[in-house]
Structure 1
Amino acid sequence: MDNIPNNHASVPEKHPQGPDNAARKSALDHVEHSTANERIILTESNCYESLGFCFPSWKKWMILSVIFLVQTSMNFNTSLYSNGIGGISEEFGVSEQAARCGAMIYLITYAFGCELWAPWSEELGRKPILQLSMFLTNVWQLPVALAPNFATIMVGRAFGGLSLAGGSVTLGMVADMWEADTQQYAVACVVFSSVAGSVIGPVVGGFVEAFLPWRWTIWIQLIFGGFVQIIHLLFVPETRTSIMLDRLAKKKRKENSALNVYGPNEIQSWSERFSLHEIIITWIRPFKMLMTEPIVLTLSLLSGFSDALIFMFIQSFALVYEQWNFSTVAVGLSFIPILVGYIIAWLSFFPIIRKNNLQRQQNPNDEHMQYESRLWWLLYTAPCLPIGLIGFAWTSSGPPLHWMGTMVFSAIVGIANYSIYMTTIDYMVCAYGPYSASATGGNGFSRDLLAGVLTIPATPFFTNIGGKRHLEYASTILFCISVPLVVSVYVIYWYGPTLRKRSPFAQQLSDARIEGNASRRASATAFAGSRAQSRKNSLA
């Protein structure tokens, strides 16, 4: 078991006065009194108090508040562009369907951006990767805002989407600061920022479309993105454990030149860590996890197809509400019920999380309680997806029915979307700990890729199916597709242990957790933040 990484997300958080703290302090004292002939590699075990897990609560939630803004900004960018489609079509003489290609290409390249940025945040640190991602995203807003032709818009949107790191990195930061047993409130917060950002876009966009030229849909994205990047730069420290250990080792050597202390990444030369072969291995890690880890593949497909259905569903809003003569601003405001659904779902998880935490504490050796219990609330909220879709379908026929019925059911759909995203992400962050950025990248990849692919056919789907009742029949088709998705939730819940046993990397991390809890060996191998250890365990 010595080749298994010391998985920080699997080690229960300890009270400062606990017995394990004394062991860690003893190990740290050993580091302080090491000699020049004794090479010490810092690990999570002997420096736990210096890592993100031991940040004071106010600092953790301050960081998470900024991450909330970062994630909101990223998803705000994906949706606000749609309110400029009419202006783009008119100015450049392209059809509105062609103008939607700017939204499509952004989502598709965003899907790949989630996967490509995630592993580098595990190698180089969260902060520099997020800063570079936000900088490039903001830079690529400029050619779109100043575009002299439609081709420039397409190029700017393509590279802008590819520059987005997405929730894979921000959720990785949750695993940096919270243990698996205490992470759920933080995960719930980040997930809410992700889904809420997508809804805030059209709400704000309704006003922009009604009162400003289309280019302001891009300038507002840039202003918001630039503000968030500055806040992140000023207030968010590095949280990645391996990077913090490297910095701590450098600090100790500076304070005492006699110490022969190194961080986990320092034991390899720069040329070894960043050879072409290692770069390729790092980049393919999330894709390999998506294809070879059944947990990642199954939960990502569930979340991705669910999000795709909801994306198709909201494309009908303009068509549905024009039957009640809604203005452009009113159509934008019609997205508020989905946001209300997200808030209801978010709040509903609070008592569930408290109950779940108590169950895990009472049954520390029960794997079902440690993992599958995180999906329990989804068993009751997932049916909201087909209920909301079928209800919306048959209240969307226009007068004499009142429009309020459609909004009630769209809120119910919002409850389902948040619940599916929250529970699948929570499960993967728990299962993969320090590699959760790469694991959750698959979730983002599935959601954004499927949404991007469906951007172009979405409007024809609602206008060309079913003749006079085309809106009702189209939404009913979405309802029929959602039913087997909901059934899959129950299958995943009951067969979760089988999925985990067939996920080799997740099983290795689980075994490491069991061994670590039993022995607490301070001599475990260095934390697997380096690419060499990552390649050995996740790609072997």
Structure 2
Amino acid sequence: MAAPHDSPLRDVESQSIDTHVGLDPDASEHVPSDSHDNEAPQTRAAEEQVQVTKNDIDDPFCVNFEHNDPHDPRMYPTWRKIQICLVTTAQLMWVTVISSIYSFGAHPVAEEFGISDTKARIAAAVFLFGLGIGPVVAAPLSEDFGRVPVMVVAMALVGITQIPCALAPNIAVLIVFRFLGGVFGAASYNAVGTVSDLWGPDEQGWGVNTFTIAAEAGTLGPVIGGYVVQYAGWRWTFGVSGIVTAFLLVVFFLTVPETRAGVILTRRATMLRKQHNEPRYFTLHEKQRAQHTVSALAKEMIGRPLFMLFTEPIVFWFALFDGVNYAVIYIFLEAYPLVFEQYGFNLGQQGLTFLGLGVGFLIAFGLYYFQMKWEAHAGTRRPDGQPTPEDRLLWGIPGGFLFPISLFFFAWTSYPPVPWIVPVIAGATFGISSHILFLLVSDYTVNAYSIYAASAIAAQSFLREFLAGSFTLAAEPMYARLGNQWASTLLAFIGLILSVIPVIFFKFGPIIRARSSFAQELQRVEQEQKEYRNKLASRATTLNEPASAAGTANKEKLASTDPGQQA
């Protein structure tokens, strides 16, 4: 169900979620990608960003959106933005359902192929591993060639992989095509990039919150899969997956336009070059794309994320907490059937108990309103009127402590004669904490690292999917050896240790960020960007030419683009 995140855009598309407030989709069009030189990459990144902006912003052949341009996705009517967002996030929602719909099919697969349940669950784990690896390819492709073509091709391939899964003659075929399905399905996490394409940084909160809910929709997998396995057999879990994937793909293809600003403008530049027979028309997106060699992308999408994961405390500790949070959800795919079969529930009824988690997600979705109010209030107390990254952690403090509390609650109420509804309620309380943590990790990381958020989110996403896949394999033997109560209690103790992370970073986050080489470089870049915006504003005032007001506004929009898109 992953995440930033990453994200999205290259910043959050890798993520999963990666969720990721404050990112401007035009940044890669307006600010070229950073250097991939091994020596001082951050410094080179800043220099190239400022240099290209200064050299190109006044070029009359640089194609950009006009003021209130109807082709600018951010100028679409609100209803149109919502429609695009919902259709796009539906792709992500279904991919996360596919990741978990197989959970009730593992045991029948083991019986049919004569293997252990643990080996049968490898097919569940590898899908998550694929989701962790896929963004390395999907993110830059989406950024360079557009959201729509990448999503259409990827989701078509997801649908195709369901066919050999449904017809699999042995576990090896099932494992291979489940893994490929996860790799292709990772493109659906570009949905968070679409959110940022449509709304500015100050308007993205609820869109990203919706993305997060979609990424958690894997809890619907057992609800559907339980009844499918019970009445049609495990092979039809893949049949249903393929049919729904095809339907959603058709809806997406017919109703969603390209929203990636740089790609739209590149098409416009191509048209102008042909119409006027003038080869000098260009976009900054084209210049950036020319820098995207395989080696450059490898350093950006693999090298730096791994470096940040093991050297940046913010990245590592929140990746660990987010990974455990995500892994517990997939452990519940094993734990819930064990718990609720004690109450005589059949497979379909066992699947319905996962709706408790969904209720918790929805409650936390609504609680985000109060977090946004707090951030706005906190911003009024700052000299610049903006909240700090740590202000975004406030609701993570109670959310972090609710995490182990809910697991203790579940562990020691999950057996008769305790009524079955009680562990379902415990699952709902976990859902509240899970959604809060999932959203705040990406939100805090993006705001702490800005132009380097892509690498940070990519690292967190990889660890999250790796832990979820690994815990999926460990869940069955862990519950068999420790028993339902003590296995869940072990998870609660792990959560208790991790629950102090939001508190520590809420209090000491500014000190930790000040010691980060990435944060120090970010401060310098932001200062240079601020100085350049001031120069543009001064130039507009001096010229005082009403006829050029639209163009000036466009340039100011370009210069003020949040550099957080680049990483």
- Aligned residue identity for 1:179: G
- Unaligned ranges ≥5, structure 2: 1-10, 12-20, 27-55, 537-554
Normalising by structure 1, what TM-score?
A: 0.82
C-alpha displacement of 1:337: 0.8
- Hey, what's the Cα distance between the residues in 2 that align with 1:71 and 1:41? 35
Residues 452 and 518 of structure 2 are in contact (CA less than 8 Å); yes or no, is this contact kept in structure 1?
no
Aligned ranges 1:163-312 → 2 under 5 Å? 163-165=184-186, 168-195=189-216, 197-257=217-277, 260-267=280-287, 273=291, 275-281=293-299, 283-284=301-302, 286-287=305-306, 290-291=309-310, 294-312=313-331
Does the 8 A contact of 1:83 with 1:208 survive in 2?
Answer: no
Check whether the contact 1:122–1:437 (CA below 8 A) recurs between aligned residues: no
Q: In the TM superposition, what is the alpha-carbon distance from 1:122 to its structure 2 partner?
A: 2.5
Deviations along 1:222-254, one digit per CA (max 9) or x if unpaired, are: 111112222222222222233233233334444
The 2-side partners of 1:43 and 1:59 are apart by 22
Equivalent residue, structure 2, for 1:136 = 157
Structure 1 residue 289: Cα displacement: 5.3
Contact 1:73 1:225 in 2 (8 A): yes
Other structure's SS at 1:85 match:
helix
1:418-457 alignment, distance < 5 Å: 418-431=435-448, 439-457=456-474
1:386 maps to 2:407: no
Say if 1:341 and 1:132 are closer, same or farther in 2 by CA, change over 3 A: same
State whether structure 2 residue 391 is matched by structure 1 residue 373.
yes
Q: Of 408, 428, 446, which aligns to 1:411?
A: 428
Number of aligned positions between the proteins? 499
Q: Supply the distance in 2 between the matched residues of 1:516 and 1:293 (Cα, whole angstroms).
A: 25
In 2: Cα distance, 1:148 partner to 1:129 partner: 31
The 1-side partners of 2:372 and 2:336 are apart by: 34
Distance 2:445 2:67 in 1: 27
Which of the numbers 122, 146, 150 marks the counterpart of 1:125? 146
Matches within 5 A, 1:442-521: 442-465=459-482, 470-502=483-515, 504-505=517-518, 508=521, 511-513=524-526, 515-516=528-529, 519-520=532-533
Aligned-pair distance for 1:421?
0.5
Structure 1 residue 340 displacement after superposition: 0.8
Tell me if 1:111 matches 2:132.
yes
Q: Deviations over 1:114-142 (max 9, x none)?
A: 34422332333222222232122222211
1:306/1:485 contact within 8 Å kept = no
1:320 aligns with 2:320: no
Q: Distance in 2 between matches of 1:489 and 1:142?
A: 44
How far apart are the structure 1 equivalents of 2:219 and 2:502? 25
Consecutive unaligned residues of structure 1, counting only runs of 5 or more, are 1-6, 14-30
Q: Using the TM superposition, give the Cα deviation of residue 171 of structure 1 relative to its aligned residue in structure 2, in angstroms.
A: 1.8
CA contact (8 A) 2:451 2:522 kept: no
How far off is 1:180 after superposition?
Answer: 2.5
Contact map agreement 2:130 2:183 (CA 8 A) in 1: yes
Q: SS of 1:41's equivalent?
A: coil
The structural deviation recorded for 1:190 is 0.3
Q: Is the 8 A contact 2:222 2:333 kept in 1?
A: no
Tell me the C-alpha RMSD between the 2 structures. 3.6
Q: Which deviates more from structure 2 when the two are superposed, residues 399-408 or residues 247-256?
A: 247-256
CA 1:345–1:524: 2 relative to 1, 3 Å = closer
1:277-315, CA deviations, whole angstroms, 9 ceiling, x for partnerless residues? Answer: 335345426545545655444432221122223433442
- The structural deviation recorded for 1:383 is 1.5
8 A contact 1:74–1:166 mirrored in 2: no
The 1:455–1:438 alpha-carbon spacing in structure 2 relative to 1, beyond 3 Å, is same
Q: Deviations over 1:244-269 (max 9, x none)?
A: 3323333444454458321113347x
- SS state of the match for residue 326, structure 1? coil
SS of 1:239 mapped into structure 2: coil
Counterpart Cα distance in 2 of 1:408 and 1:230 = 37
Stretch moving more, 258-267 or 339-348: 258-267
Shift of 1:85: 1.5
1:89 and 2:115 equivalent? no
TM-score, length-scaled by structure 2? 0.78
1:218 positional shift: 0.4
Residue aligning to 1:338: 357
